[in-house]
Structure 1
Amino acid sequence: MTIHSELSIITVLDLLGTLAFAISGIRLASGKNIDWFGAYVIGLITAIGGGTTRDLILDVIPFWLEDIKYLITTAFALLVLIIFKNRLFRWKNTLFIFDAIGLGLFTVTGLIKSLAFGLPIWASVIMGVVTGALGGVIRDIIINEVPLLFRKDLYAIASIMGGIMYYICDQFEVLIPYQEIIAVLTVIFIRIIAVKFHLQLPKLNLSESSD
């Protein structure tokens, strides 16, 4: 696969991920007494934070500075939530659903772009986690929440497993775009299973037990 075709796939997945993450960010901001502009900023940070960090590490211009579609997509997400808030908010797991979709999509875009720029697979998997998770970390810090990455069921682990699945599919020469689809679905599936069955890594507790 050429760099051009890889970057075309990245653009499509990035826009879908931007929409999903922007919706999850704006939905979370709605409970923090934030106005429309503030909600837009929170949604945008959620959507571009990880990818911006990835691009800075790769020493390229952050993707959203070269294409206004990402800003427009975030504005569209805000508009959708404003218009359809009563319908969307009836879904108890609205935030989780869109966050899981965004994590899956951005994990894959980060991995693909890193591979296209010559990073080894292990580093590209890490960059996939950065792309998928860091925007949410920045969002949560801004709105004074403990980041999902550190407190929810198998968040970063789901991203890592999606990256590993992408690598496995590539080794077995699975056709494109099925590699990407399988990797994204792997992340979403692990998040759903982890939340449904409350699967978590053991909490770190180094305090001395009392006698």
Structure 2
Amino acid sequence: MESRDRRHRSGLIAAGLLCAASIASAAPERYVIDPAHTYPGFAIGHLGISQLRGRFNKTTGWIELDRQAKAGRLDVTIDVTSLDTGLAPRDRNLLQGTFGAALFDAERFPEMHYRADRMVYDGDVPVAIDGELTLLGVTRPVMLVVRGFQCAFNPLRLAQGCGAQATARLKRSEFGMLGLESWIADEVDLVIDVEAYPETLPTAGRAR
């Protein structure tokens, strides 16, 4: 009788552990953006001749995925002063203004933000993010299209990371970025490559 009771209790404990594991696996997963492998970039027409490309070298934030509920959230901050177009004098002009055009106006608006609380899924893979971008103090909706979402084990971190590329097209004039219209196009293509790791990972953010 005692042996049977012990087996019964063991079975209840095992069932409880399985239930807890199931609940844990269904919980939203939060990932911290790895600034060493995340680069928001852009391309914009220059004089009707070519595309000027640039990126921002400092990005922080988090992404939360709930694949079972087909939901997700994110909060990302981009350091505007980390602008890098490959030419320092041009970066200064874009950040501080030139020919009477403020452009990024980094002294007043040193950061831009993207926040979202809605994701679109195809199966268990996010394919779009419906959020809002704040640039130059102006907040407007921006839908990001997500491509190439995948997760894999990083042997240097000993952890599973996830990454993707997000793209969008917007008009700088809608955010109050005016000036140099005859030199620089209004439409801007965004290309954001992101890599992120679980929030509990102690090595998150290291350049590996």
Scaled by the length of structure 1, the TM-score of the pair is 0.28
Task: Pick the structure with more helix per residue.
Answer: 1
Point out the structure with the larger strand share.
2
TM-score by length of 2: 0.28
